[in-house]
């Protein structure tokens, strides 16, 4: 079982009905209105969900191996293009080194591998204090923030 945390520390999991993208597409009408968690594989892009993303309380994006970065793009698109406001969870081969960047892409909960240390993970969220580029949490790049 993975260690579940957000940027402040460990969190308890909330039980939701899990569906895959294929199950959603096949049974959209009967599933609508339920408390759902969509599980996306790294090969499934955010545009396959589109505006349906609002139908899910949580979207979990699986990272099958740490070197597979497609989940970052999916998270960013869900937050920025499709305005997804629910919980966005990183699952699979999630390592401490990735947490800061996952947060910048819009993830807010993280299912760490069992061999990762929670205290080190929490510290990883403050790796940097200033970002030059915009991200899913702050749409203004640093030079725009300084002018404000």
In the chain, the domains with their CATH numbers are: 3-147 (3.20.20.70)
Closest CA to 102 of 81, 132, 83, 78: 78
Token pair 């545009």: residue = 47
**What pLDDT does residue 36 have?**
96
9 pLDDT more than 60: yes
- For the stretch 121-125, contacts whose Cβ atoms lie closer than 8 Å and that sit 24 or more positions apart, written own/partner, are 121/3, 121/5, 121/96, 122/5, 122/7, 122/8, 122/9, 124/96, 124/97, 124/99, 124/100, 125/7, 125/99, 125/100
Are 5 and 11 in contact by the 8 Å Cβ rule? The answer is: yes
**What pLDDT does residue 33 have?**
85
Read off the pLDDT band of 76 (50, 70, 90). very high
Quick: pLDDT tens for 91-144.
Answer: 999 999 999 899 989 999 999 999 998 999 998 888 877 665 656 776 666 666
**What pLDDT does residue 142 have?**
61
**What pLDDT does residue 46 have?**
92
């Amino acid at each position: 079982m993975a260690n579940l945390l957000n940027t402040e520390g460990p969190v308890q999991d909330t039980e939701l009905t899990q569906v895959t993208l294929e199950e959603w597409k096949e049974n959209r009408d009967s599933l609508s209105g339920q408390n759902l968690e969509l599980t996306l594989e790294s090969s499934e892009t955010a545009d396959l969900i589109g505006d349906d993303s609002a139908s899910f309380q949580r979207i979990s994006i699986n990272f099958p191996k740490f070197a597979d970065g497609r989940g970052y793009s999916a998270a960013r698109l869900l937050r920025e293009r499709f305005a997804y406001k629910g919980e966005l969870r990183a699952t699979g081969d999630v390592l401490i080194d990735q947490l800061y960047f996952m947060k910048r892409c819009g993830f807010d909960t993280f299912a760490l591998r069992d061999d990762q240390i929670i205290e080190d993970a929490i510290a990883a969220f403050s790796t940097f204090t200033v970002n030059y580029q915009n991200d899913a949490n702050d749409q203004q790049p640093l030079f725009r923030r300084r002018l404000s």
